[in-house]
Structure 1
C-alpha cells in the first residue's frame, strides 16, 4: 500500500500564515468528525509550521539550573514527581529548587549532573 502522508514545507511568512489558517480550519471540526486523512494533514502541517518557526526563531538553551531542570523534565516528557524520583528527592524539594527558593547541596548537584547530563559549569555555579 502506498504511503499517503501529506508533505508540507514552509519557506516564508505568507506560507506560514496560510498553513496556520488551514490547520485552524481543520481543527475547528469536532474530533469525532475528523477523518484519519485530516488528522494526518494536521500533523504534517503542524510539523512544517514548527520546522519553519525553529528555523527563524532561535530559542537559546537555558543557562540557569532551574531552567535546565525544567527543560530536562520537558525533554523526558515526565512530570515533576517523576523527575524528582529520578533524582532521589521529593517532588516538593525539586519544586523549591526550580522556584529558586532552595539551593541543592553538593551531593544533589552531582546527582543532577550525572542523571540529567547537565554541564558541570552550570552545576558548579550553584555551589
Structure 2
C-alpha cells in the first residue's frame, strides 16, 4: 500500500482504526493492519514535518521515545544516576561537558544543538 496524498493518509488511519477494533487473533487482519501502519509511517517520514524540540530536555525525551528508553534505561546508557536524568529532564540540573559528549555519541543529539540550548 502506498499513500500518495493527505486524503489517502486520512483514509489509511480510518482503515487502520477499523482493523484494530476487530482484528483480535486474526492473523490476516493483523498483517493488513501492519501493512497500513508501515504505509502511514513511510508517508509521515517523507511528508509530515513534526516540530523539532527547542529544549534539551525535549530533545532527550524525543530520543528516549524513538529508542524506546525509560529514564532508568537512559541513566544506564549515559552512565549516570537515575535521579540525575530526572533532574536533567525537569531542568533542575545543567549538563556537564562529559554528559554533553555522551548525549551526542549515544543518543545522536547534534552537538551544536546541545551548545545552543544548554
TM-score range, shorter chain: 0.7 to 0.9
1:2-44 deviations in whole A, cap 9, x for unaligned? xxxxxx1111233223222222222112623xx1111110011
4+ residue segments displaced more than 6 Å: none
Larger Rg: 1
For the aligned residue pairs, the C-alpha RMSD in angstroms reads: 2.2
Q: Is 2:73 aligned against 1:85?
A: no
TM-score (norm 2): 0.80
Return 5+ residue gaps in structure 1 as ranges: 1-7
Query: Which residue pairs with 1:25 in the alignment?
Result: 18
Q: Is the 8 A contact 1:96 1:102 kept in 2?
A: yes
The alpha-carbon distance between structure 1 residues 125 and 21, as it changes in their structure 2 partners (threshold 3 A), is closer
The answer to whether the aligner puts 1:109 opposite 2:100 as a matched pair is yes
Q: How far did 1:119 drift?
A: 2.6
Pair 1:106–1:44, CA change in 2 (3 A): same
Equivalent in 34, 39, 54 of residue 30 of structure 2: 39
Q: Is residue 10–residue 52 contact of structure 1 (8 Å, CA) maintained in 2?
A: yes
Shift of 1:60: 4.1
8 Å contact kept, 1:97–1:103: yes
Match of 2:4 in 1: 11
Aligned to 1:74, what secondary structure does the other structure show?
helix
Answer 1 or 2: which has greater helix percent: 2
